[in-house]
């Protein structure tokens, strides 16, 4: 393994700026998505079409991400970051212009197919940071992503008070600004002598990394558990704006402000309380407690969707679910990281990112179908069942057994936090 190049101050500052802009830009549109889609579909089909749009976006990302990653090893990080940023700008611009449902779909295709800036940014960080400092800097970059996630939805909700399309165009502007900044100010982190000479077709297969990960006995049960926990949270992410509109008649501003508070909760849990909880309760306690907390949040939202449409219960359910997810997911990330050798951390991060992208394809469609075809509580009832299954799978795999390393430092898997920044 070749050493990272000496980190430059300008490169690190640019990385911080670009990461915060990217995560903020991705989340600005969340509060207004159902309101934009509602112009083109009947209200009874709103949840399904919101799911379709997000599934199309996730599918494009899932299929193209291996290509963008391989190209970043071949041509450098900077060109991929630039192309991805301008591609996102075009996609969001199309979505904002709209005029027909197919234009919205095209916008999500373009944005999804060029969604390679965040993985490239994390690869950039690995390039410029010595190995012994990477864990700390990856954690810092994850925290910065959380701040962007907090700011983006709040900004989107406030801008929607002017016009529901305004946040979408602001997002396009942010993406274009990222492209310009990267083109003009961002130095390349991967020198020519460290680049791959060719892109192998086998490395571009989106299912290859998944197959390799699930065939590993030490990872199989854990990865299944990650799927069972990630899918219900994806249900929530893709559906809670629709639920807030249908059950509470909330405006985009209220939805955006609540989403921002979710970002605050995530920062508090993962940035402050998680280490204390792990030392006191160990991995087993935090993991099972986090899943149980998520289940309580899911139950609250199911009640809101079915029998008691009260804002206070919706807020409590949302925040409790977010707190449990932050604790459980981060703990599983750390357990996964400790299950492989140091030279496999990047491979593991790519595998978990691929799993998350795959969930991002299936979960929005399933959530929309359950919500529209069965009843509004459907996604949350199924989510409760999946969390119960996750506990059983993780216990059988030994992940939920009492930890002998309860006071050990949690090692985050690089890049996994970023996927949750899209919430």
What are the distances in angstroms from CA 249 to CA 243, 308, 364? 9, 14, 21
pLDDT of residue 295: 92
Per-residue pLDDT of 132-153, as tens digits, reads: 666 566 656 666 777 777 788 8
Mean pLDDT over each residue of the chain, to the nearest integer? 78
Residues 123 and 415: beta-carbon distance below 8 Å = no
Secondary structure (DSSP) of 192-210: GGGS-S---GGGG-TTHHH
> How open is the CA angle 202-206-207, to the nearest 5 degrees?
90
% residues pLDDT > 70 (the chain): 79
pLDDT of residue 81: 86
Instruction: Pick the more confident residue, 122 or 362.
Output: 362
- Round to whole Å and give the CA distance between 121 and 184: 16
Secondary structure (DSSP) of 320-334: HHHHHHHHHHHHHHH
Across 190-199, 213-222, 373-382, the highest mean pLDDT is recorded for 373-382
Residue 298 has pLDDT above 90, yes or no: yes
Q: 197: Cβ–Cβ under 8 A, 6 or more apart, which residues?
A: 74
Q: 321: Cβ–Cβ under 8 A, 6 or more apart, which residues?
A: 233, 236, 293, 294, 296, 297, 298, 300, 301
Q: Tally the residues of the chain.
A: 423
What are the distances in angstroms from CA 282 to CA 111, 172, 225, 401? 40, 43, 18, 10
What are the distances in angstroms from CA 275 to CA 176, 208, 270, 272? 37, 34, 8, 7
pLDDT of residue 5: 43
Tokens 């899209």, residue located: 422
- Round to whole Å and give the CA distance between 98 and 277: 47
Joined together, the tokens standing for residue 54 give: 């997000």
Per-residue pLDDT of 214-269, as tens digits, reads: 888 878 888 888 889 889 988 998 888 889 999 999 988 888 888 888 878 877 87
Arithmetic mean of pLDDT, 296-324: 93
Joined together, the tokens standing for residue 289 give: 């407690």
Per-residue pLDDT of 103-116, as tens digits, reads: 999 998 988 887 65
Arithmetic mean of pLDDT, 324-351: 69
| Helix/strand/coil percentages in the chain, nearest 5 | 80, 0, 20
Burial per residue of 341-373, b for 16 or more beta-carbon CB atoms within 10 angstroms, e otherwise: eeeebeebbbbbbbbbbbbbbbbbbbbbbbbbe
CA-nearest of 152, 378, 387 to 243 is: 378
Across 66-80, 294-308, 401-415, the highest mean pLDDT is recorded for 294-308
Instruction: Pick the more confident residue, 386 or 66.
Output: 386
Q: Is the CATH number of domain 9-190+203-420 1.20.1250.20?
A: yes
Per-residue pLDDT of 175-189, as tens digits, reads: 898 889 888 888 887
Arithmetic mean of pLDDT, 84-94: 89
Residue 387 has pLDDT above 60, yes or no: yes
Domain boundaries, the chain: 9-190+203-420
Per-residue pLDDT of 15-41, as tens digits, reads: 778 777 777 777 788 788 888 888 898
What are the distances in angstroms from CA 132 to CA 136, 259, 385? 9, 35, 41
Lowest mean pLDDT among 32-36, 89-93, 321-325, 408-412: 408-412
pLDDT of residue 202: 57
Residue 302 has pLDDT above 90, yes or no: yes
pLDDT of residue 325: 85
């Amino acid at each position: 393994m070749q050493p990272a190049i000496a980190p430059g101050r300008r490169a690190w500052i640019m990385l911080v700026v670009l990461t915060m802009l990217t995560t903020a830009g991705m989340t600005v549109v969340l509060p207004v998505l159902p309101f934009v889609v509602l112009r083109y579909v009947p209200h009874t089909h709103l949840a399904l079409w919101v799911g379709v749009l997000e599934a199309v976006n996730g599918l494009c990302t899932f299929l193209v991400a291996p290509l963008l990653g391989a190209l970043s090893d071949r041509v450098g990080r900077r060109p991929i970051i630039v192309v991805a940023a301008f591609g996102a700008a075009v996609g969001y611009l199309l979505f904002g212009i709209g005029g027909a449902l197919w234009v919205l779909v095209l916008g999500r295709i373009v944005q999804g197919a060029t969604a390679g800036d965040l993985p490239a940014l994390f690869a950039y960080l690995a390039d410029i940071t010595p190995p012994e400092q990477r864990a700390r800097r990856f954690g810092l970059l994850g925290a910065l992503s959380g701040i962007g996630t907090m700011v983006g939805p709040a900004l989107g909700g406030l801008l929607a008070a002017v016009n529901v399309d305004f946040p979408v165009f602001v997002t396009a502007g942010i993406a274009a600004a990222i492209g310009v900044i990267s083109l003009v100010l961002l130095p390349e982190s991967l020198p020519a002598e460290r680049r791959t000479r060719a892109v192998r077709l086998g490395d571009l297969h989106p299912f290859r990394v998944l197959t390799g990960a699930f065939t590993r006995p030490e990872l199989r049960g854990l990865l299944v558990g990650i799927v069972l926990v990630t899918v219900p949270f994806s249900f929530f992410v893709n559906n809670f704006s629709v639920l807030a509109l249908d059950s509470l008649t909330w405006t985009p501003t209220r939805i955006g402000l609540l989403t921002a508070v979710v970002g605050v909760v995530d920062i508090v849990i993962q940035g402050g309380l998680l280490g204390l909880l792990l030392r006191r309760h160990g991995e087993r306690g935090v993991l099972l407690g986090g899943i149980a907390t998520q289940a309580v949040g899911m139950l609250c939202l199911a009640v809101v969707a079915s029998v008691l449409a009260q804002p206070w219960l919706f807020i409590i359910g949302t925040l409790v679910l977010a707190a449990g997810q932050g604790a459980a997911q981060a703990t599983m990330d750390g357990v996964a990281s400790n299950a492989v050798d140091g030279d496999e951390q990047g491979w593991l991060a790519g595998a978990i990112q691929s799993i998350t992208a795959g969930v991002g394809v299936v979960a929005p469609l399933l959530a929309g179908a359950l919500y529209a075809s069965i009843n509004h509580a459907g996604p949350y009832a199924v989510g409760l069942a999946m969390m119960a299954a996750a506990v059983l799978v993780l216990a059988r795999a030994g992940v939920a057994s009492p930890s002998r390393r309860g006071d050990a430092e949690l090692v985050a898997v690089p890049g996994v936090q970023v996927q949750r920044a899209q919430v």
